[in-house]
Structure formats: C-alpha cells, structure tokens
Amino acid sequence: MNHSELAAYLRSRRDRIRPAEVGLPTGPRRRVPGLRREEVAQLAGLSADYYTELERGRGTQPSAQVLAALARALRLDGDERDHLFHLADRLVPTEAHGPTAHVQPALLSLLDRLSTTPAQIMTDLHVILAQNPLAIALLGHVSTTRGQGAGFIHRWFTDPGARTLYPAQDHDHHSRVFVADLHAVAARRGRDPEVNRLVSALRRRSQEFASLWETRDVALRRADHKRIVHPALGVIEVDCHSLFSEDGRQRLLWFTAPPGSNGAARLEMLSVIGTQDMTTGAGHTQPTGTSRMTP
C-alpha cells in the first residue's frame, strides 16, 4: 500500500469539490478551496480521526467498502475509483450492485441536484450507496455493515432494531412490500447467486419472510407512502418516489410531502436541525454508522 500517494490523491480529490456540489453550506470563514476533512468523513460515513490519518499517510489499510464510500463522497469517476483501489492495494470490485458498487453517474448527478428534499441511491437489494445531507438527517448515516447485513431487507427480517424507523402498525405493510419487491428483482436477475443466497438466508432465519415468500406476490416498488419515526420530530408522513438506472440495479429514492401538510412542515424543520440530536437538549451530532436508514 502506497500511504503517501494515497494521502496525496485523497487531498487532491477533496480540494476540487465545492461544498455546494454535495449539498453542504458554504461559510464565509472557509480556509480550504474544497471540502474539509471532516466533511469528507461525514459524507463517507467515517470518523473524522480515521480519515485524517489516511490523509496524513498513516493508519491501516482501508477496506474495499471504505474505499467505495470515499469514492462516492469524493465523486470519483470509474477510472479515478479504480486508481484509489490500486493505491490502497485492494482489488478493484467487479460487482455492479454490492456495497462496493460504483454509483451510476446519472443517478449521482441527479442526487447532487436534490438539495431541498431527502434523497439517496441504493441497489436493487436495498444497500444504500449514497445519501444527501437531508437523507442523513431523516434516516441516519449509511450503515457500515458488510455482507448480506448491508442490505436493509436482510436487517428488516433479522434485526428488530431496524423496524424502529416505522410505526409498529405499519410493519406488516412494509414486510409485504419488501418481499414483493425482492420477488421482482429475483425474476429480473434470473438465477443470480447473490439473490439466491439472500432468499435462502431469510427463509431460514425468518418465518415471516418464508410465509410471505410463498405467496409469490410480485411488485417492483416504484412509489409508496410512509410514516417515518424521527427521534426529535416524531412521525413524519412522506411520499416516496423512485427513479431506476437503465439496468435496474440501482435506484434513486427521494422523499416529499404535499405543500402545506404536516409532513412538509416537519421536513422543513428537518432542514434546520440537520443531523443534530435534539432529544438530549445538547445538540449533539448523530454518530456515523448508525442503523437508522431505510430504502
């Protein structure tokens, strides 16, 4: 691993990005031409200390998932992303849909322009790849979980904590929607080993999933109405919309509410409080790596 070159490359990519390009405010006292280190860390879901060590040419070899998160945070194109992996002495991922997948440029370009509404990009198996600041404020940072647990569908049926994002009375609806959506993905992908492993694991671990899977309901989720439980603002009612990539393996999901509605008012409040944890009265920023996120 070339520590010094990796550090220099990260600094050069950070310097070229303007805060407005990634939905961050531009303050009058900004001393750097591009993003601050802590801003890159925030966008990538890493600790500021860890990222600082990387830019100083120290620290351990970053994992493939960390490199993929940095590539997304720094808006690297395909060649730049591959170069980042080479500098870190990691194999360049060939998969197009896992946690280390390279975000489709067209979707990422649209995400950059959605600065007034929560939005994020995820794979067809509900692995979050990129979020704008309002999505982080609404749902929490991208999880650092690896493997099958990186997908929200897997956590929904195996981790009770994942369900706290929705009111309990809505859980049955979301379970049906997730399974029907996964049926559609499985049919489109054909005999895909990743999908088969996920389905097999969930059928073993969740009786609820196994029963719903046998209904064979199929419906690709294109839009939905949700009630999201926010720790400071309570229940926020939103409409969810999806835009799919050409190959169907990634989707841009954004959240809106009708003008004048209670949901719209709470989304407006969300843009003010951001990622501050207002439940403690101390205004602490929500830690990275939280599991509060949804597809």
- Give pLDDT, residue 101: 66
Read off the pLDDT of residues 237-254 as tens digits, 9 standing for 90 and up. 999 999 998 888 889 999
Read off the pLDDT of residues 96-106 as tens digits, 9 standing for 90 and up. 555 556 777 78
pTM of the predicted model over 0.75: no
| CB-side neighbour CA atoms (13 Å) of 5 | 9
Give the number of residues written for the chain: 295
- Give pLDDT, residue 245: 86
Read off the pLDDT of residues 28-47 as tens digits, 9 standing for 90 and up. 676 767 888 888 898 888 88
- Spatial contact of 17 and 74, defined as CB atoms under 8 Å apart: yes
Q: Give the chain's residues under pLDDT 50.
A: 278-294
- DSSP annotation of 206: -
- Give pLDDT, residue 107: 87
- Give pLDDT, residue 293: 43
Coil, strand or helix at 170 = helix
Coil, strand or helix at 202 = helix
Q: Report d(CA 18, CA 196) in Å as an integer.
A: 42
Tokens standing for residue 141: 């940072």
Distances (CA, A) of 95 to 85, 87, 147, 211: 14, 20, 13, 30
CA angle 162, 215, 225 (to 5 degrees): 45
Q: How far apart are the first and last CA of the chain?
A: 35
Coil, strand or helix at 136 = helix
- Give pLDDT, residue 278: 42
